[in-house]
Amino acid sequence: MAVSSDSPAAAIRAFDIKSDLDAVKRIWREVGWVEEDHEIKQLDHFFACGSTLVGTLDDVAECSVHITDGVIQLADTPLPLCAVTAVTTSRIARGHAFARRLTARQLAQGAAQGAAVAALGMFDQGFYDQLGFGTGAYDHEFVFDPGTLKVSQKPPTPRRLEIENYEEMHAAMLNRHKVNGSVCLNPPILMKAELGFSDKGFGLGYNTDGRLSHFIWLEVKGEHGPYEVRWMAYEDMSQLLELLALLKSLSDQVYSLRMMEPPEIQLQSLLQRPLRNRTISEQSKHAAEHESLAWWQLRVLDVPACVEAAGGLAAEADFQLNLSDPLDELLAQEDADGWRGAGGQYVVHLGDHSHAVAGADAGLPQLSCSVNAFTRLLWAVAPAGSLAVTDGLQAPTELLDRLNRALTFQPPHPGWDF
């Protein structure tokens, strides 16, 4: 049997929204990310912001990588973020390494434009490790009967929110209460697209001083649920309790609700008899559940900027950092100009005023690790001693102990699905 020897010409170039959008929409259909017309329409908004590179075969887009600028917290310090917000490859473009190559180039572009960190939501753990990403902390997701919430206050009558209120909701997300790892993406139009990917969503919220200060956005499934809380913003704990009371008020109709646990509280402690309810609802459509999953990853792009953000520490640690970064080799293969990865040697001080400078000091204890592991260490995803077991981090025992005492932030939580 004859086998075709014709090979389409492969190339990488910038996305052109006029000539490439239809091809990219086809890719999103092929991978199952969009199916309905209302979903496909939102891609007009999605690709109108951020930056996109495409991999082409015979000049037809068959892979795209979209990035969006934003901010991520390291403890109390905001850092400029390059969020990898969509990576899609068509059915015929597998095996060309487009996704890896395009993402590497996009990270280089983000770093060149001032991003100190990159983050993404992963389809599975492993692929993005090749690009220096380390896995983030667990998020806890609950399914529960909202009537079991132990919130006694009666909520005020809320505002009804529609997709057309996306700018107000985006502003509320930017102004929301932040914790370590909190993410904000800058373009408001991106939120309009995210809200519009489902035609079964609705929002409820409250104004403070004439502006939307706290809200929830839910997606509906059936008359009695489960409803899913997709977005939540609040500025303080009193507003969070008001939103939880609002969710409880829906329980006369809604039998089950799915939501991520808000950071800084243990949601199980606000549920009546959670273990009993989990047992008696087992195998029901409205079964109570509690799952933990790390769905996102992050990586350092600018070592000095990230180390400086990790200041105000109660304990100190001085060390020589020997950092490896797989992007160093990948970007060399791409013959990319400018930023070529974060690998190298740094003299690091962690303490009240943390800092890192490129260079070597043989008199300091040596910490050798990948950028994947160092990122997880800085954001307190896992302690140094744990990373020595799971991520190949190497350092003297005394330095590991010092790092364990210094980096004691709350584990990071993005609070923004991307």
pLDDT tens digits along 327-340: 999 999 887 778 99
Kindly state whether residues 366 and 384 are assigned to the same domain.
yes
Rounded Cα–Cα distance for residues 65 and 79 (Å): 22
Rounded Cα–Cα distance for residues 311 and 350 (Å): 7
Kindly state whether residues 224 and 358 are assigned to the same domain.
no
In a domain, 120, yes or no: no
Long-range pairs for 25-33 at CB < 8 Å and ≥24 separation? 26/90, 27/61, 27/62, 27/63, 27/64, 27/88, 27/89, 27/90, 28/88, 30/90, 30/91, 31/88, 31/89, 31/90, 33/88
Burial 83-94 (b: 16+ CB within 10 A, else e): bbbbbbbbeebe
Type and span of the H or E element at 368: strand 366-370
Kindly state whether residues 181 and 238 are assigned to the same domain.
yes
Closest CA to 106 of 120, 90, 124: 120
Kindly state whether residues 315 and 285 are assigned to the same domain.
no
Kindly state whether residues 317 and 357 are assigned to the same domain.
yes
Helix (H, G, I), strand (E, B) or coil at 246: helix
Inter-axis angle of helices 98-112 and 326-333, nearest 10 = 100
Rounded Cα–Cα distance for residues 254 and 201 (Å): 15
Kindly state whether residues 273 and 162 are assigned to the same domain.
yes
Boundaries of domain holding 345: 296-406
Token pair 């829906």 is found at 250
Kindly state whether residues 253 and 303 are assigned to the same domain.
no
Residue range 116-161, pLDDT digits in tens = 999 999 988 899 999 999 999 999 999 999 999 999 999 999 999 9
Kindly state whether residues 300 and 212 are assigned to the same domain.
no
Kindly state whether residues 146 and 283 are assigned to the same domain.
yes
Contact 274, 144 (CB under 8 A): yes
Kindly state whether residues 98 and 219 are assigned to the same domain.
no
Kindly state whether residues 216 and 272 are assigned to the same domain.
yes
Q: Of 231, 266, 293, which residue is a domain's last?
A: 293
In a domain, 122, yes or no: no
Token pair 């373009």 is found at 187
Residue 377 pLDDT class (50, 70, 90 cuts): very high
Given this model, what pLDDT does residue 228 score? 96
**CATH number of the domain where residue 77 is located:** 3.40.630.30
**CATH number of the domain where residue 342 is located:** 3.30.1050.10
Counting the structural domains of the chain, the total is 3
In a domain, 131, yes or no: no
Instruction: Mention every residue, 6+ apart, whose C-beta is less than 8 A from residue 309.
Output: 74, 75, 77, 79, 116, 354
Q: Of 293, 314, 345, which residue is a domain's last?
A: 293
Give the dihedral sign, CA 199/210/244/75. Answer: positive
Kindly state whether residues 190 and 288 are assigned to the same domain.
yes
In a domain, 390, yes or no: yes
pTM: 0.94
Q: Does residue 201 have a pLDDT over 90?
A: yes
Q: Of 293, 327, 354, which residue is a domain's last?
A: 293
